[in-house]
Amino acid sequence: MDLAQCVDNLLPQVDRPSRYMGGELHAVKKDWDETQVRFALAYPDLYEVGMSHLGTQILYGILNEHPNCLAERVFSPAADMERLLRGGNIPLFSLESRRPIRDFDVFGITLQYEMTYTNVLNLLSLSSIPLRSEDRGETDPFVVAGGPCAFNVEPMAAFFDFVVLGDGEEIAPELVDSYAGWAAEGRPGGREGVLERVAGLDGVYVPGFYRPHYNDRGEFVSLEPLREWAPRILKRVIRDLGEVTFPTRPVVPFAEMVHDRAVMELFRGCTRGCRFCMAGMVYRPVRERSPEKVVDLCYEMVENTGYSEVSLSSLSTTDYSEIEKVMDELTGRFEETRTSVSLPSLRIDEFSVKMAEKVREVRQTGITLAPEAGTQRLRDVINKGVSEENYVNSLEAAFASGCDTVKLYFMIGLPTETDEDVRGIVTLVQTAREIYRTFSESKRSLRINLSVACFIPKPHTPFQWEPQLSVEEFQRRIQLLRDELPRRGVKFSWHEPEMSLIEGVFSRGDRRLAGAVQRVWEAGCRFDGWSEFFDPQTWFAGLEAVGVDAHRYAGRTRSEDEPLPWDHLDAGVTKEFLQRERARAYRGQVTGDCRWTGCPGCGVCEGLGIASSPLDDDDSRCPGDTGV
């Protein structure tokens, strides 16, 4: 019985067989024997999560457009499917051709979130691919990582042959050409030969070409290049989003996804400068698609997919300079087909609320606001750029439109936070209730969904040197909120402090942590980002086994002059800028968005040779201004 028949026999035995069927609308199945390079693309979570990831859809389309390449998809199997695969000695397979993953030339895995790391090892194990790159032979696929966690891949470096840093649209075809050229020349140098070739591409990091060093206390000291030419790795950046392919024929799943709609990326990057936000630092500079291009692409997607909703997606959607023009055009064009337009990420200001109201999102689903901190003092520390007046005006605009549901997002444990700042969250909740009573004519009570995350210091941010609170202190502050928040009309949820601590360890981790991930995976941990599967004690034990005390590792303040495990991975933002921003945070000084207020001297434009998309015709704002 061949693998495809085995899979057919398994499908009736699992929950949601559509996760493993393949054959969806716009799925691409190319001739295996007529293609030089076979690429398996994995998202290390369930199908319905991974199929909602725009980056996977983009790479899938680009690779399959290449005449010498085919790309097929694979996702983490749920527990029932994993049991059947292991019990029947059946290899993990791709959705398109149901080929074993180990038959592919390259196995690409996106690293979106630290708590998917055990799923990465599970994908490799189910594919019968040696977990560590040093153990792979000539017949094994090359395992490559990408995604935001690639900006500190060190805890997972042992498991990857090479890593792509930054945007993938241009580099993916270059990887295909490098591999195809090596294969056509008779595979000179074996696996090492391929790694030396791809290491010469901008934005590619080969961990095996570097060796870490530690002191007597086991602390990271340095990363030694093992090749004279092994460079500091500068991220790859797409200069013009209008010139790269965007998938207007994305794969349309049979079953409902986490985000079941067409997604249009308006722009990439953010320069608002929130000091806790890694995405806002590593995805700089801002690059916009033209409004004409956006409208045309949205229309094509709806025509090709049949979706009834288009989501305009970016880190802060209403920062798009032509948002009003795009909204007017799309709402007019989609009026007859009753296709809705959604804005998933809004600023806290009246303009953003009015934009949401324009597409009737506020009235249907309520409004989502993220003040992040409970007091103005702390919002200035984190450079959120949100005032009390912004908050009040946003609520008034929302309630005037008929909104009766508010979602509020905050963090606790931010640098310099006090109990007064925590109680400020309660004050903002009470403010919302008071405004609703005086402003709304509705007889329905206001519903507030309050979500609180635990602050996690992230690499490449001004807070990368900061300590993370202990589990006990996070729990105390959560209890403070529980005690003081109104009982009626407020649904309060929070992130698990233990999970946040583990995420914090790995977000700033070094290569010692690979052993901990492997031990935890061997102990049976999977889908650790899901609270129902997360087992904190197994994680703490795994870390302890490699000599790492999780609380000390995450909870100590790093010195600004000590070497960091990710120093060689260059996101374009200079360390000097991050240090200045950290100092400004402690002084409570706000740094403006460079697209409005002038260049703060982050180093991205000069280092990459590309400036953020301007909001006006003033070209003089970027070079030279240090913003100190």
Where a domain ends, among 171, 194, 229?
Answer: 229
Mean pLDDT of 555-570: 97
In this structure, what token pair is assigned to residue 537?
A: 């004690």
Q: What angle do CA 479, 484, 487 make, to 5 degrees?
A: 100
435: tokens are: 């405004």
Rounded to an integer, what distance in angstroms lies between the CA atom of residue 210 and that of residue 227?
8
Whether 93 is in a domain gets the answer yes
Residue type, 272: R
The number of domains in the chain is 2
- pLDDT at position 183 is 96
Query: What is residue 412's three-state secondary structure?
Result: strand
The 3-state secondary structure of 141-171, one letter per residue: CEEEEECHHHHHCHHHHHHCCEEECECCCCH
Contact status, residue 333 vs residue 359, Cβ threshold 8 Å:
no
For β-strands 204-205 and 162-164, DSSP reports them as antiparallel
Whole-angstrom CA distances from 168 to 57, 180, 206, 236 are: 12, 18, 16, 7
Query: Which of 229, 250, 285 delimits the end of a domain?
Result: 229
Residue 271 falls inside a structural domain:
yes
Residue 222 and residue 235 share a domain = no
Average pLDDT over residues 436-460: 90
Per-residue confidence (pLDDT) for residue 360, from 0 to 100? 56
Q: Which residue has the higher pLDDT, 361 or 374?
A: 374
| Residues 205 and 262 grouped into a single domain | no
Q: Crossing angle, helix 513-522 and helix 117-126, to 10 degrees? A: 60
Please report, for the domain that includes residue 315, its CATH number. Answer: 3.30.750.210
Residues 124 and 186 in one domain: yes
Name which of 395, 489, 396 is nearest 445 in CA terms: 489
User: Which structural domain range is residue 125 located in?
Assistant: 3-229
Cα torsion for 195, 197, 198, 203, to the nearest 10°? 120
Query: Model confidence at 341, in pLDDT bands (50, 70, 90)?
Result: confident
What confidence tens digit (pLDDT) does each residue in 3-39 have?
A: 989 999 999 999 999 999 999 999 999 999 999 999 9
Chain segment 403-443, per-residue pLDDT in tens: 889 999 999 999 999 999 999 999 999 999 999 998 766 66
Cβ neighbours of residue 434 under 8 Å, at least 6 residues apart? none
User: Is residue 180 included in any domain, yes or no?
Assistant: yes
Q: Are 242 and 124 members of one domain?
A: no
- CB-hemisphere CA count at 13 Å for 104? 33
- Give the whole-angstrom CA distance, residue 488 versus residue 446: 10
DSSP H or E run through 197: helix 190-199
* Average pLDDT value for residue range 279-286: 96
The answer to the question of residue 139 being in a domain is: yes
Burial of 453: CB neighbours in 10 Å, binned 0-12, 13-18, 19+: middle
Mark whether 331 and 295 lie in a shared domain.
yes
Inter-CA distances, 240 with 65, 290, 599, 609, Å: 19, 10, 21, 13
Work out the number of other CB atoms within 10 angstroms of the CB of residue 245: 10
Q: Which residues on neighbouring strands pair with residue 106, listed in sequence order? A: 39, 142
Query: H helices of 440-522, where?
Result: 471-484, 497-507, 513-522
- 90 shares a domain with 16: yes
The neighbouring-strand residues paired with 38 are: 70
Is residue 131 included in any domain, yes or no?
yes
Q: Is residue 446 part of a domain?
A: no
Domain-located, residue 462: no
| Interval 567-620: pLDDT, tens | 999 999 999 999 999 999 999 999 999 988 889 999 999 988 888 876 554 443
Residues 161 and 62 in one domain: yes
Mean pLDDT of 274-278: 97
Verify that 580 and 610 share a domain, yes or no.
yes
83 and 216 co-located in one domain: yes
Which pTM was predicted? 0.94
Nearest by Cα to 234 from 603, 607, 599, 570:
570
Q: Pick from 206, 229, 252: which residue ends a domain?
A: 229
Residue 505, in any domain of the structure: no
Q: Do 224 and 237 share a domain, yes or no?
A: no
- Looking from the CA of 519 toward its CB, the CA atoms found within 13 Å total 16
The answer to whether residues 328 and 235 belong to one domain is yes
Using the predicted structure, report yes or no on whether residue 75 has a pLDDT greater than 60.
yes
**Residue 345: per-residue pLDDT:** 65
Q: Which CATH number covers residue 18?
A: 3.40.50.280
Residues 221 and 278 in one domain: no
pLDDT score for 254: 87
